[in-house]
Structure 1
């Protein structure tokens, strides 16, 4: 009888180690969070129609300046009205320059640090926006220290001629 009671205690003492299981799930969650934010395709907003082009390179993650018929936005935040930019005689728009400079200081995490340090900006402009407006926005970007400027376009298939 004594032997049976001792053996019975040994059998029930085994269990699942929850600490190591929690560690594995924590690492898995962090891995998925870090890798879920990276995307290769930049989707333009529905209210902006981009021009078509045959492009080979994939878009990179950069600071985004959008030009709509109504306003200019930096990273989705409205900066100035489009009409004010067109009426301005200045080649560099100070509001855009200041917002881009502020964007470099607003760094949260490794991915945004890489984006802000790349000194690269992507301009998404409605295809009906006049080029002089795009030119002023590009001048403001270079004035703020962004040397590489990319214009976003819609990729279309190559024609087989």
Structure 2
């Protein structure tokens, strides 16, 4: 059977220019970038919020931080979850062992807690992380800890900076 003039012309055209295809290089570049993005943003390492106003003490602690309520204490303010609760000067002036503003905020945090409710919560207590500057007075730290225990936050973690291996080997 003889081919028509149009069929012969189309056959010649396809031989010269080739058939259209899918460019996989660009598609693979996009997927590679997507994989790297997902790997970078899905890390399992928990990091505490950093603050230039707080210099944490150094330690050789190996345990990673958990997601808890964070009480940040610097030389000027006491913050809970980033909100200013009280000033250090007012707390140190007051002779009470309990900080009323902190107690009220911690009770509010425990009511709005994202932690799972358990039947033994009253016995076990709640979790909290204290990020205190290494130069805050012990009197202030003692008031904060007694206020936290009064608000049923008994699992208290102190945030520290991990000491580098070269420093810890020399000691």
TM norm structure 1: 0.68
- The count of aligned residue pairs is 123
Match in the other structure for 1:97: 103
Unaligned runs of 5+ in 2: 1-37
Flag the structure with larger Rg: 2
Are residues 1:148 and 2:148 paired?
Answer: no
Assess if the C-alpha contact under 8 Å between 1:44 and 1:124 holds in 2: no
Match in the other structure for 1:28: none
Q: Counterparts of 1:62 and 1:37 in 2: how far apart (Å)? A: 18
Unaligned runs of 5+ in 1: 1-31
Are residues 1:160 and 2:149 paired?
Answer: no
1:36 Cα offset (Å): 5.5
Q: Counterparts of 1:139 and 1:130 in 2: how far apart (Å)? A: 15
Correspondence list, 1:1-161, <5 A? 39-107=45-113, 112-114=114-116, 119-158=126-165, 159-160=168-169
Which stretches of structure 1, 4 residues or longer, exceed 3 Å deviation after superposition? Answer: 35-39
Matched residue SS, 1:113 = coil
RMSD across aligned positions (CA): 2.4
1:39 Cα offset (Å): 4.6
Q: Counterparts of 2:62 and 2:43 in 1: how far apart (Å)? A: 23
1:114 Cα offset (Å): 4.1
Pair 92,42 (structure 1): closer, same or farther in 2 beyond 3 Å: same
Matched residue SS, 1:65 = strand
Q: Counterparts of 1:43 and 1:147 in 2: how far apart (Å)? A: 22
Q: Counterparts of 1:153 and 1:41 in 2: how far apart (Å)? A: 12
